[in-house]
Amino acid sequence: MPEKLDRCVEKLKKEGHDEDSAWAICNDSIKNKSLDVNWDGVFEDAIGEQEFIEHDEPKGTIVAISVPYTLANKLYLGGGNSPEEMHITLAYMHYLYDDELDTLRAIVSSCAKDYSQNLLLKVGGIGRFSHGDEDVFYASVDNPFLSEFREYVIGRLEAGGLPVSYEHGFTPHITIKYLTKDETTPMLGGDVVGSQWLAETVDIWHGNFKFKYTFSCISEPPLV
């Protein structure tokens, strides 16, 4: 365990955390890992479709809804997130051990099968917010059931003993590009705001890999 703890701390320090916060996060992860949760018999259903995603450097693990390529390509700006990277984050975990990833995959697979409400998502507008020394240029996303689904997922993750981060609240958005403080807010094409798509999968982004789990409630083709 000390070796895993050291690796966890070093990874978080590389992501910008100071030593005290890195140790606190990793210690919490170890405490959560000790919870007695039995997932035997579930993992055979948690395979999911797997993709390799190009990132500059793997950072933590997220549960997310990916943006379809056609729409993401419309949102793309030079120097920003690539279309393949665009997503809506539902939950973030700083560090997962291999067995915790297995648990996460089983839970997300089950969430995709059990949730009964279609998620028809809509780009509501664009904006920017401060993020440390930079600003985030983003597209907001609207759907009356998205927060409900996120809370459902979070509850299942917590019940499984996984170390969900609460550093930030939930404002559904797609990060398009990080801007300098003095950089002018970009403009996007007029046909982007109001674009809709039906979420077909809920995904796990772990390092450079994406595991995709199809919603069982899909009842109409995706829209863009």
pLDDT tens-digit profile of 138-177? 999 999 999 999 999 999 999 999 999 988 789 999 999 9
pLDDT of residue 64 exceeding 90, the answer is: yes
CATH annotation of 41-214: 3.90.1140.10
**Lowest model confidence (mean pLDDT) among 34-38, 73-77, 136-140:** 34-38
SS (H, E, C) 16-27: CCCHHHHHHHHH
User: Tokens standing for 206?
Assistant: 């772990």
Q: Which residue has the tokens 């919603």?
A: 215
Q: What is the pTM of this model?
A: 0.74
Domain boundary assignment for the chain:
1-34, 41-214
Measured CA to CA in angstroms, residue 25 lies from 34, 133, 141, 167 at distances of 15, 23, 30, 11
The confidence band for 94, taking pLDDT boundaries of 50, 70 and 90, is: confident
Measured CA to CA in angstroms, residue 132 lies from 16, 129, 136, 178, 181 at distances of 11, 10, 10, 11, 10
